[in-house]
Structure 1
Amino acid sequence: MSNWADLTTGERIKHLRGSDLTQQGLAEVSGLSYALVQKAEQNRGELSVGSLLKLAAALTTDVSVILGQQAPRRGMDRGDRAALRLLSDAVHESALGEWEGIDDPSGVEDLRKARDLAWAAYWASDTSKVSSYASKVLMEGQVRYASATGAERRQLGLILASTYRVAASCSNGFGQRDLALSALTSAKYLAKEADDPVMAALLESTLSWIYLRGAKLPRAVTVAERAALAIEPSFSKASRPELVAYGRLMVSAAVAASRREDESAADNYLSQAHAAAARLGTDEKLYGTSFGPTAAKTEAVGIHVALKNYSRALKLANHEDMKTVGKTMSKVARNRYKLDVALAQCATGLHDAAGDTLIEVGLDAPEWVKHQALPGVIGARIAKVSTARVRSISELIGVPLIA
């Protein structure tokens, strides 16, 4: 087989489909039309992000593999694979009680600090540090949790639940959905034991994202909507944690609805997210989650891009109060937003600007960008204007964008 990145997208889909699955079979498994699968393998027309998600799920791979950014079974480098192995061991062994040899586990405050460092590493796209800190918290925290009582047990339960959640988020980012679901299962048990509805709501937000990445879009919407209804606050009396959880769930529902191209539902959920953000007034961080006016505005751009409202997305992105928005966001959130902007720039003919934005992302987060789907989509669209430009971007950021 040729170098994976040198194949066309259609050739990669055909290879992944193999001889055991017909085009009709792929259409049925993915929920796409037979005509669309045919066109995809013949490289006719552009595949939407929603269609790519469905194809990736049906072919049990990741979008970045279909687009040639990663080769099958070799998508992660050695460091990421080692980090995820360590994380997997910690997630499963801690839940099973396999923590022999830990005689003097850290106390609540030290575990809380390590949990916070794991989340900071996640938002900085440092997989090795996520794994290192999270593994420590899960193993030592479960030892202490097993003998703790009262307020200490509840505090430890919430620290562990939040740490299992960062493990789930990290795993899902690499397409390791089974590990993500295992981590989330443990987290939900601990949140229930602690009787914390806000933590429980945030876990449902993560579950919605897992379903979204697995192309289970109706389920992604349902999970987020159901959890939001359970915690729906009275805006005049709601606590800030409740507003953060509710707003984040409304964003999750809006994102999933936009991937289904359900504009009415997406707009409704998004308006609720804006209302929660307005009530907060400022950005808030809670259990590794950030929500407030910044998140509501930047997520709105991505949602309108998914709905193909590209001019509206750029109008929002170019608003005066968005010019410095990146300075207050984490590396991952900032670059997710910039990729949405780049896609909107492509769609409105601003290919040079899209290329510049893509370069900004690649230089700011070189490892993170390798595992994202949108750079390949953006590169393919810029290539229709100038393949030379795309090849120079690929060399600069170290990610193959076109064959």
Structure 2
Amino acid sequence: MPDDRTREPGARLRELRFRRGFTQEGLAEAAGLSVQCIKKIEQGGSARMETYHQIAKALGVRTVWFVAPGSPEPVAETANVALLADIRGAIIPPLGMDGNALYGTADADDVSLPHLREAVDASALAYHGDKYDHLAQVLPELIKSVQYHVSRFDGSSGDGREAIRLRADALGVAGRYLIQIRAHDLALTAIQQSLRDARTIGSVPLAASAISLQGWALLRQGRFDEVERLAAAAAHEMEPRVSAASKGELAAWGWVLLSAATAAVRNNRPNEAQDYVSIARTAATRFGKEQRGLPGYRAFGPVSVSMKAGEVAMVAGEPAQALEEIERITPEDGRPYASTWNRGQIERAYAYLESGDTERATEVLQELKARSPQWLRYQQRAKDAAEGILKARTRIPTAAQREIADFLGVKE
């Protein structure tokens, strides 16, 4: 018999279903899925990781149990290959025989760390403002510029260390942008370069930011076990004395703990996820309110923890708890950056949907569309919520529901 880890997910699902005493209909009901979905997977079809997570919960196994190694089916290249050529060339330049990168930069005669800092800060503002088209235009040359500045300074000097820090910041922004547009492998390359730079200059908060961003990209690839191990190890390594730690150190610790929680709950380990969230909440109590402007252009505080706790509750199938976490946030608590806040609002919409309140779910998505339309288009979770709203309706969808569905490309 072949190794169980190398068998197709459908065959493994069918065998485990038999072992657990489920019919296809019974498993579908327990997992909250259609019978057609279970049949499709068992017949060799594929499914999204969220679907495998629901099945794993019903069968009492980890989500990654369904992931078997194998070669992907060949697919045609998309237009994104050409669209990402410039930023790919900046992050992964060709190397010559001497090992040096074969690209130039327009500012070869203009070495100015203050000007470079302004440019990197502007790119972070563009990211938080959902200006993805602008980032696509400026990031390639910005990354080339930071690479050039690093090459012009002695890395042990004050200016050299600042140049390395700026490269770490620029590559971190690039990584976050690339995750948003689903270029995950390229994002990981940028983030891991950022992490190496953070380690070079000895910045634990900047390194922790890169670790949590790396976890985000890996989660998008379904690598739940790896993310939890990575984040838990980092949290253990950097655990501070809460009473004496700086806010940067506490935020760093909190970021990786929340990354571990996100991975654990998706791998059907809700108790461990709750433990990580509880520890992160301890770190957040020192902040009083949400604080922006932390290393890596990040925010942290009680709002970040409540938003992540809501997400964990939703993945664990507890919409009422998710709403309690998210709706406890007040204006006086402050706000994280827009992308973090908006992701929490999608979970809020989903919680309303799972609670049977499609009207409130629609209202939340409408608010997001009005506030961050370009960001919202890239969110699969928002599309899933819009699709769920349409399916949950017993009457003809309202004009607002049809508008959201059309905007997100969801067919009725």
Q: TM-score, normalised by structure 1?
A: 0.79
**Separation of aligned partners in 1, 2:385 and 2:401:** 11
Q: Given the alignment, which residue of 290, 295, 306 partners 1:297? A: 306
Pair 1:100 & 2:104 matched: yes
1:49 aligns with 50
Q: State how 1:49-68 maps to structure 2 within 5 Å.
A: 49=50, 51=52
Change (3 A) 1:325 1:42: farther
- Residue 29 of structure 1: how far off its partner (Å): 9.4
1:388 aligns with 396
Secondary structure, aligned partner of 1:93:
coil
Pair 1:40 & 2:37 matched: yes
**Cα RMSD (Å) of the superposition?**
3.5
1:315 aligns with 324
The higher radius of gyration belongs to 2
Change (3 A) 1:288 1:351: same
**Separation of aligned partners in 2, 1:265 and 1:198:** 24
Q: Structure 1: which amino acid aligns with 2:345? A: K
Q: State how 1:4-403 maps to structure 2 within 5 Å.
A: 25-27=8-10, 39-40=36-37, 49=50, 51=52, 82=83, 84-93=84-93, 97-102=101-106, 103-149=108-154, 150-284=157-291, 285-286=293-294, 287-319=296-328, 322-324=329-331, 328-386=335-393, 388-389=396-397, 392-396=400-404, 398-403=407-412
Is the 8 Å Cα contact of residues 93 and 103 (structure 2) preserved in structure 1?
Answer: yes
Secondary structure, aligned partner of 1:156:
helix
Secondary structure, aligned partner of 1:290:
strand
Is the 8 Å Cα contact of residues 123 and 333 (structure 1) preserved in structure 2?
Answer: no
**Separation of aligned partners in 2, 1:209 and 1:331:** 17
- Residue 196 of structure 1: how far off its partner (Å): 2.1
CA deviation vs aligned residue, 1:183-227 (integer Å, no higher than 9, x gap): 123223322322222222221111111111111111111111111
Is the 8 Å Cα contact of residues 119 and 130 (structure 1) preserved in structure 2?
Answer: no
Is the 8 Å Cα contact of residues 86 and 140 (structure 2) preserved in structure 1?
Answer: yes
| Residues matched between the structures, number | 364
**Separation of aligned partners in 2, 1:59 and 1:371:** 28
Q: TM-score, normalised by structure 2?
A: 0.77
- Residue 60 of structure 1: how far off its partner (Å): 9.8
**Separation of aligned partners in 2, 1:100 and 1:224:** 36
1:66 aligns with none
Q: Structure 1: which amino acid aligns with 2:104? A: E
Secondary structure, aligned partner of 2:299:
strand
What 5-or-longer segments of structure 1 have no aligned partner? 1-23, 62-71
**Separation of aligned partners in 1, 2:377 and 2:354:** 22
- Residue 261 of structure 1: how far off its partner (Å): 2.6
Question: Is 305-314 or 85-94 further displaced after alignment?
Answer: 85-94
Is the 8 Å Cα contact of residues 302 and 340 (structure 1) preserved in structure 2?
Answer: yes
**Separation of aligned partners in 2, 1:74 and 1:231:** 41
Question: Is 84-93 or 350-359 further displaced after alignment?
Answer: 84-93
Is the 8 Å Cα contact of residues 307 and 344 (structure 2) preserved in structure 1?
Answer: yes
Change (3 A) 1:59 1:352: farther
- Residue 127 of structure 1: how far off its partner (Å): 1.3
Secondary structure, aligned partner of 2:408:
coil
Identity of aligned residues (%): 20
Is the 8 Å Cα contact of residues 284 and 301 (structure 2) preserved in structure 1?
Answer: yes
- Residue 311 of structure 1: how far off its partner (Å): 0.9
What 5-or-longer segments of structure 2 have no aligned partner? 1-6, 18-23, 29-33, 42-46, 54-62
